[in-house]
Amino acid sequence: MDSKPRDANFILDELIERYPELSVCREDIANAYFTLLESYKHDGQLLIAGN
């Protein structure tokens, strides 16, 4: 396994390469990631509910 840190854009690029249909919502995915990142930096949490 590669031990070098990878940045969010690199990971997002790989995701889009694997699933090209996600390219239309690339900006939304990036915004969601950075929103969660900022929340976690301030001891926030993510609550998920579903059926």
pLDDT tens-place string over residues 1-51? 455 557 988 999 999 999 999 999 999 999 999 999 999 999 999 999 998
Task: Output the pLDDT for position 16.
Answer: 97
Separation CA 26–CA 18 (nearest Å): 13
Q: What pTM value is reported for the model?
A: 0.75
